[in-house]
């Protein structure tokens, strides 16, 4: 499959600060590549480098051209921060951006695709935060781009609207559009991305499909049993367990073996209120590879995208 985007040894410094440090990857035609990382990791700087809005060192080719030579008709960009004119309606805004391209899509069809038909004739300043973001998504894809850069695309959008946009992005990729996505939503990345790259301190520390990353870095499944601090010695050899904040955590328990653990606790006379079994996911990979705590991750997600 042909490569729509290639980055080789991309570097960017701001004085003594290294924002992007030797990043290399590629994105195939019709592929969704998700980039994750904590605030300050360099994600937005990398997006700006890839789209030519921030000069950088290294080699970047988008559809075979360097960023300064890109045909704007073939590339779409939704920045993390995008503030169009307040006193234009949603319809006027999408029509305005459509007018910048040679063969744009029908603006009204785009407005319908992003779910703002009912609010299309309201001024942008009177739209809700989620509606505004949807209008911005529409402006980014009104030219029907071959490569689409999405920097935190669903920030502020309600769950139903978010899922509708996910379906839209998936349909675009199925039609051959290559998508470069940054997001703090691990659910969004797992839902959309064919491959994921994790950026830490400007370096790309892991790349792979979500399942492979989870298998390599996600850790073990966990069975958490609310025992009130009992049960640490109740399990037979072969189960690794420990007490954490009054709960018994049993590691690497396959789903089909949960009953064995529960029966062993009951046989030992250990009472419990409930139990929860979880498999590792992309969030576990993120936390392990970035060294962040769950509180750090939640703070990053609330704060939005990273510079």
**What secondary structure letter does DSSP report for 116?**
-
Span 3-216: which CATH code? 3.40.50.300
pTM, full prediction: 0.84
For residue 280, give Cα distances in angstroms to 33, 41, 230, 250, 251: 21, 23, 25, 14, 11
- The residue assigned the tokens 């960009």 is 77
Question: Rounded distance, CA 12 to CA 18, Å?
Answer: 6
Residues 134, 161: contact at Cβ < 8 Å?
A: yes
Output the pLDDT for position 307: 40
Output the pLDDT for position 265: 79
Domain ranges of the chain: 3-216, 220-278
pLDDT digits (tens, 9 = 90+) for 27-64: 999 999 999 999 889 999 999 999 999 999 999 999 99
- What is the percent of the chain where pLDDT is above 70? 92
Of 193 and 229, more confident: 193
pLDDT digits (tens, 9 = 90+) for 123-151: 999 999 999 999 999 999 999 999 999 99
Question: Rounded distance, CA 271 to CA 225, Å?
Answer: 10
Burial of residue 233 (CB within 10 Å: 0-12, 13-18, 19+) is exposed
With H, G, I as helix, E, B as strand and everything else as coil, classify residue 305: coil
> Could you say which of 1.10.3720.10, 3.90.1150.10, 3.40.800.10, 3.30.70.980 is the CATH number of the domain covering 220-278?
3.30.70.980
């Amino acid at each position: 499959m042909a490569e729509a985007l290639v980055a080789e040894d991309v570097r960017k410094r701001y004085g003594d600060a290294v924002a992007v440090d030797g990043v290399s990857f590629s994105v195939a035609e019709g592929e969704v590549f998700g980039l994750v990382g904590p605030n300050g990791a360099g994600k937005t700087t990398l997006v700006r480098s890839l789209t030519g809005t921030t000069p950088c060192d290294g080699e970047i080719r988008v559809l075979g051209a360097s960023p300064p030579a890109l045909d704007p008709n073939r590339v779409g960009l939704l920045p993390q921060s995008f503030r169009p004119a307040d006193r234009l309606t949603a319809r006027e805004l999408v029509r305005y951006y459509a007018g910048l391209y040679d063969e744009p899509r029908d603006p009204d069809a785009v407005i319908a695709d992003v779910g703002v038909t009912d609010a299309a004739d309201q001024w942008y300043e009177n739209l809700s935060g989620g509606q505004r973001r949807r209008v911005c998504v529409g402006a980014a894809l009104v030219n029907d781009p071959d490569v689409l850069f999405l920097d935190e695309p669903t920030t502020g959008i309600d769950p139903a609207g978010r899922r509708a946009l996910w379906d839209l992005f998936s349909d675009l990729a199925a039609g051959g559009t290559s998508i470069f996505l940054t997001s703090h939503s691990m659910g969004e990345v797992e839902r959309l991305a064919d491959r994921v790259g994790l950026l830490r301190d400007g370096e790309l520390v892991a790349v792979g499909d979500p399942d492979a990353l989870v298998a390599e870095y996600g850790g073990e499944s966990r069975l958490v049993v609310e025992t009130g601090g009992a049960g640490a010695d109740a399990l037979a050899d072969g189960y690794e367990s420990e007490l954490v904040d009054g709960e018994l955590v049993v590691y690497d328990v396959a789903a089909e073996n949960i009953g064995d653990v529960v029966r062993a606790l009951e046989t030992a006379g250990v009472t419990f209120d409930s139990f929860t079994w979880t498999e590792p996911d992309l969030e576990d990979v993120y936390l392990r590879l970035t060294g962040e705590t769950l509180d750090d991750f939640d703070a990053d997600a609330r704060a939005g995208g990273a510079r």
